[in-house]
Amino acid sequence: MLTNMPDDGRIDDSSEYEVAMSAIAYCEEVPESYEEREVRPDRGKWYQAKQEEISALKENETWELVKLPPGKKAIKSKWVFTVKYNKEGKIEQYEARLVAKGCSQKEGQDYSETYAPVAKLSTLRILLSVSNSKKFYIHQLVVKNAFLNGLLKEEIYLEAPEILNVENGVCKVRKKSYGPKQAPMEWNSRYDSYVKELGFKQCRTDRCLYVGNFDNVCMYLLLYVDDFIIATDSPETLKELKEVLMNEFHNVFCSKPHLNYS
C-alpha cells in the first residue's frame, strides 16, 4: 500500500509511503448460496452486484443463449460472492462473480493449457525501489472482469444462471468467463500479445514484467493478475499508455497506487 502519495502519482523524497504486506484481519462473511443471500439484511447490495456482473457479461458479449446441441454437455455454474476493502479496512465494494465449475471440465475436450504466470513479489519490490530512486511517476490500472478479455478457443456451454429466467436453454460461451481452467491463461496470452505489439519487451527473469523504450523514454509495465503497474519518468507517455490500455481492454479503471500484495 502506498500512502501519502502525491495526486500525480510521482514518488519523491518528501513523500512518506510504505509497502504493506499484510492481509486485512477483518473479513465480512459472504453468502455461500442463493438461498443464504435471500435472508440476509444486505441482500439488496448482493442483488445489485449480480446485476452488474450480468450487465458486464452482456456488454462484453461473453455468451449467447442457445439450445444445447446433441452430444454436448453444459458446465455447471455458480455464484461466488466477495467483498473488497479500502485501506482503512472498511467495505468498499460488493462483488458477485458468475463462474463455471471448472472441476467438471475434461482435459483435451474442454481445455488444453492452463498455466498463467504471476508477477513475483520481489519484482514488485524492485520496481518500486527503482521508481523511487529515479523519481518515476507510477500509476495503477485495475481491470474489472479481467478474464472476460481472454479469447476462447474451445467450444464451451454453460448452464444459464437463475437470474436470466431461461428454460431449456444454455449459454454458449463466446469469450472467456470466470471458472474455466484455461481462463487465466487466455487472459494473460491476449495481454502478452498486445503489449508486445506496442513495442514492449518481456523480462527473462519475470514474464509479467515488460520494459519499453520509446523516444528515449523508459517505461516499465508489470501485470499482477488483473492490475497494471506502470512506471516511467514521462507523465505524457504515461498518460498515452493508460489511454491505450483503457481503450483495448474492457472495464479498465485508473486508481492511485494502492498496492497490497502479500
Share above pLDDT 90 across residues of the chain, in percent, rounded to a whole number: 21
Least confident of 63-77, 113-127, 169-183, 240-254: 169-183
pLDDT of 131 reads 92
- SS3 state at 92: strand
pLDDT of 171 reads 86
pLDDT of 141 reads 85
Question: pLDDT band for position 21 (50/70/90)?
Answer: very low
Going by the DSSP 8-state scheme, the letter that residue 99 receives in this structure is E
Check: pTM over 0.95? Answer yes or no: no
Least confident of 37-51, 66-80, 122-136: 37-51
DSSP per-residue string spanning 196-243: HHTT-EE-SS-TTEEEEEETTEEEEEEEETTEEEEEES-HHHHHHHHH
Q: Are 201 and 212 a contacting pair, CB within 8 Å? A: yes
pLDDT at 24 over 50: no
Q: What are phi and psi of 208, to 5 degrees?
A: -95, 0
Q: How far apart are CA 252 and CA 245, in angstroms?
A: 8
pLDDT of 200 reads 96
pLDDT of 29 reads 67
Q: How far apart are CA 177 and CA 215, in angstroms?
A: 38
Q: How far apart are CA 190 and CA 226, in angstroms?
A: 13
Q: What are phi and psi of 138, to 5 degrees?
A: -135, 125
**Mean of per-residue pLDDT scores for the chain:** 76
